[in-house]
Amino acid sequence: MSSPTVREITYLEAVREAMVQEMRRDQEVFLMGEDVGTYGGAFGVSMGMLQEFGPERVIDTPISEAALTGMCVGAAMMGMRPILEIMFFDFVTLSMTQLIHHAAKNRYMFGGKVSVPMVVRAPSGSGTGAAAQHSSCLENWFVGTPGLKVVAPATQADAKGMLVTAVRDNNTVIFVEHKLLYRTKGPVSDGLYEVPFGKARVARPGKDLTILAYSIMVPRALEAAALLEKENIDVEVVDLRSLRPLDEDTIHASVAKTERVLIVHEAPTIGGFGGELAAVIASGPAFDRLDAPIQRLGGRECPIPYNRGMERAAVPQVEDIVRAARKLAREGK
Amino acid sequence: MPLSPAEVQQQYGIEADLRKQVIQSFSQEKCLWMLRSMYQTRFFEENAENLYMRGQVHGTMHLSIGMEGSPIGAMAAIEPDDLIIHHHRGHGHTIAKGADLVTMVAEFIGRDAGYCRGRGGSMHIHDIEHGNFGATGIVAAGLSVAAGIALSLKLHHDGRILLSFFGDGATNEGEWHETLNIASLWKLPVVFICDNNQYGMSMAAEKVMAVEHVAQRASAYCMPGVTVDGSDPIAVYLAVKEGVERARRGEGPSLIENLSYRWRGHSKSDRNLYRTGGEIDEWKKADPIPRFAIHLMEAGILDEESIDRVEKEALESIQKATEIALTLPEPDPARVEDEVYAP
């Protein structure tokens, strides 16, 4: 075997590469979902996989999310490792019975006698003009469900490594992808590697304030940080990557260092994961070090609208992050 | 109006000769096991009620008293290593599939040695070791899990099949229909078995179903559908056996509707506001257990004395299991977060 090479590939290709390499390694891994076979997935993530693995491992299905999710639960309890593609994260509403009542609870309800090792891959987020029912960010529902793990990688390398980890994890993992990240490129090793859950990544070190972000908001926060650097505001960007389990240590360390924190996510602010992050900080060791109130910047309190301008306005953009971070950096000084 | 026992027997029963023939084809051991399982289910549930009254059972429960014919008739048609998944009224299925009675009672009274280590209770009893993937408290949610297990069996060319039990109420859920479509489409090795006790909680099946019989719904999914007298284990056996053979041949699922009746309320909160005492009494007179015992006697398999012995031993087995279970320790509340995640 030649040693691994790092190339520039897209986020979408990184997700596909993780699936392909895991399916080559482990016969028990299979992909199931609507149009994942011949069509290659609604976003093309599984393009070509049917040709390599055949219809018994890349399984095209009827439009029956509830049953498909339950079937993955059943197959997982038998020791298989299903990857279920939910075409749009929004459609996970149709899978909720199985995810909440079986995937998350079966191990516990059965006193530890079974496990449900499955991955639910779901493209989330707005920005494609798909309007209210094809643009949602619903990760907070699952973060509040013991028994599930929830990850939302922002980089191509993490998308691959965390999906490998997800497939090998003995629990159900909600793997949140982002439609706008699919075409972004970055360095990814062609070897097989795992990126552990519960470990945040400092995407950009800084000293003046911390931005906590995940998924699409990481590149936006980095862009904002680059702009703020010109104003002599030195922003630290922490990419949480894994929401449940959560790396509280890295959060506390960063906030203790910068003494200011802005939490950014695309989902609406009220009831969003940011509230939990704020509570973690407020009840943690870095609270005494805060020089300003914890700030949250989330999506607006509305469904995602269709009109381009309205759609942009509904979720944090780079300029919104710049504005919020600038205000926070100056507060109390 | 729900069908009376006489109507069910008339319309969906089997010929006495056929029943006798089938019983005589069974070993005496098998007949004893079937009768014992029915008695144990009855006594287990009466005992559970009693424990509930005495405050030993913490939560509610769904009793299948009067419905003992279906689980054992179905289990008589499969091999010991075949699999099952059942529903919230699944004590009979669990006993028929070979559960350990002490472990079962222990779960009812919330002990650490119970099947769910005290975390599941009546509604989540399973017995993985004996191929029983348990009960679910969400109506119809077990079907797709069953189909997933069957998919795994098919993909591994395993040879085993799975029985998926559910109630009449489940057939009005969307997921039920999704699953039957997929299972038929992919020819999964599963047999769908409806324990139709004619009421979904307070709602008579006829008030909530556009079709007269659950089995009619099979035609929409291109699979055989049959309604049988669910109080007669032999009638159930014959129908399930056909479904099992079809599944094993790789021809896909069948739908079997076992018509029966539950004597008790839906759960402990039920005040029977939706049916008459007369209706319940009529069904009590058609008790499936003595009825099966008489069939065994008529077939010359067991005499009255050995039947009495089976009944007595079944009662003793439940009493003994309860005595032992009551001595077992409760789980430590400090371990409440154990088993949420697999390592």
Alpha-carbon dihedral sign for residues A180, A182, A186, A191 = positive
Residue B195 bridge partners (DSSP): B167, B258
Among A162, A189, A216, give the residue marking a domain's end.
A189
Q: What is the DSSP string of B58-80?
A: -S-----TT-THHHHHHHTTS-T
A254 within some domain: yes
Q: Which one is predicted more confidently, B60 or A192? A: A192
Token pair, residue A20, equals 């392909």
Burial bucket for residue B336 (CB in 10 Å: 0-12, 13-18, 19+): exposed
A237 shares a domain with A90: no
Among A134, A162, A189, give the residue marking a domain's end.
A189
Average pLDDT over chain A, rounded to an integer: 97
A173 shares a domain with A240: no
A120 within some domain: yes
Give alpha helix (H) positions in chain B. Answer: 5-12, 16-25, 28-53, 69-75, 91-96, 101-108, 141-155, 174-185, 205-208, 233-248, 277-285, 288-298, 304-327
A181 shares a domain with A205: no
Residue of B120, B178, B179 with shortest CB distance to A109? B120
Mutate which: A108, A148, A242, vs B, most B CBs within 10 A: A108
Q: What are the tens digits of pLDDT across the range B192-204?
A: 999 999 999 999 9
CATH number of the domain residue A32 falls in: 3.40.50.970
A238 shares a domain with A182: no
A107 shares a domain with A54: yes
Token pair, residue A106, equals 């079966």
Interchain CB distance below 8 Å, B145 and A71: yes
Q: What are the tens digits of pLDDT across the range A156-191?
A: 999 999 999 999 999 999 999 999 999 999 999 999
Interchain CB distance below 8 Å, B175 and A70: yes
Q: Name every residue in B having a CB less than 8 A away from some CB of A.
A: 85, 114-120, 124, 126, 128, 133-134, 136-138, 141, 143-153, 155, 174-175, 178-179, 181-182, 185, 337-343
Give the pLDDT band of residue A1 (cuts 50, 70, 90): low
B288 close to B231: Cβ distance less than 8 angstroms: yes
A171 shares a domain with A26: yes
A98 within some domain: yes
Interchain CB distance below 8 Å, A67 and B341: no
Give the pLDDT band of residue A252 (cuts 50, 70, 90): very high
Give the pLDDT band of residue B90 (cuts 50, 70, 90): very high
Question: How many Å lie between the alpha carbon of A163 and the closest alpha carbon of chain B?
Answer: 18
Q: What are the tens digits of pLDDT across the range A272-330?
A: 999 999 999 999 999 999 999 999 999 999 999 999 999 999 999 999 999 999 999 99
Instruction: Return the closest-CA partner of residue A329 out of A209, A213, A228.
Output: A209
Cβ contacts of A111 on chain B, cutoff 8 Å: 114-120, 339
A194 within some domain: no
Catalytic status, residue A17: no
Catalytic residue among A102, A134, A178, A265: A134
**Distance between CA B147 and CA B83 in Å, rounded?**
12
Residue of A64, A75, A114 with shortest CB distance to B151? A75
SS3 B133: coil
A147 shares a domain with A27: yes
A141 shares a domain with A217: no
pTM tops 0.95: yes
A195 within some domain: no
A1 within some domain: no
Residues whose CB is less than 8 angstroms from the CB of residue A104 and which lie 6 or more positions away in sequence, other chains included: A145, A146, A147, A148, A172
**ipTM (interface predicted TM):** 0.96
The number of folded domains in chain A is 2
SS3 B212: coil
- DSSP one-letter code for A102: I
A120 shares a domain with A55: yes
Give the pLDDT band of residue B267 (cuts 50, 70, 90): confident
A150 within some domain: yes
Catalytic residue among A65, A177, A266, A311: A65
Q: What is the DSSP string of A21-73?
A: HHHHH-TTEEEEETT-STT--TTSTTTTHHHHH-TTTEEE--S-HHHHHHHHH
B33 close to B97: Cβ distance less than 8 angstroms: no
Residues whose CB is less than 8 angstroms from the CB of residue A283 and which lie 6 or more positions away in sequence, other chains included: none
Of the ranges A213-227, A274-288, B64-78, B261-275, which one carries the lowest mean pLDDT score?
A: B261-275
* CA closest to B181 among chain A residues: A62
Residue B196 bridge partners (DSSP): B259
Q: What are the tens digits of pLDDT across the range B28-70?
A: 999 999 999 999 999 999 999 999 999 999 888 899 999 999 9
Which long-range contacts link B315-320 to residues 24+ away (Cβ below 8 Å)?
A: B315/B39, B315/B43, B317/B40, B317/B43, B317/B101, B318/B40, B318/B43, B318/B44, B318/B47, B318/B101, B318/B105, B319/B47, B320/B101
A196 within some domain: no
Token pair, residue B261, equals 């009746």
SS3 A306: coil
A57 shares a domain with A97: yes
Within 10 angstroms of residue A297's Cβ, the number of other Cβ atoms is 23
A124 shares a domain with A25: yes
CATH number of the domain residue A322 falls in: 3.40.50.920
Among A189, A212, A236, give the residue marking a domain's end.
A189
Interchain CB distance below 8 Å, A171 and B341: yes
Cβ contacts of B152 on chain A, cutoff 8 Å: 74-75, 78-80
A121 close to A175: Cβ distance less than 8 angstroms: yes
Q: What are the tens digits of pLDDT across the range A106-121?
A: 999 999 999 999 999 9
Domain interval for residue A47:
6-189
A210 shares a domain with A295: yes
In the predicted model, is pLDDT for residue B276 greater than 70? yes
Average pLDDT over residues A36-64: 98
Token pair, residue A142, equals 């699952």
Full set of structural domains in chain B with CATH: 5-329 (3.40.50.970)
Catalytic status, residue A331: no
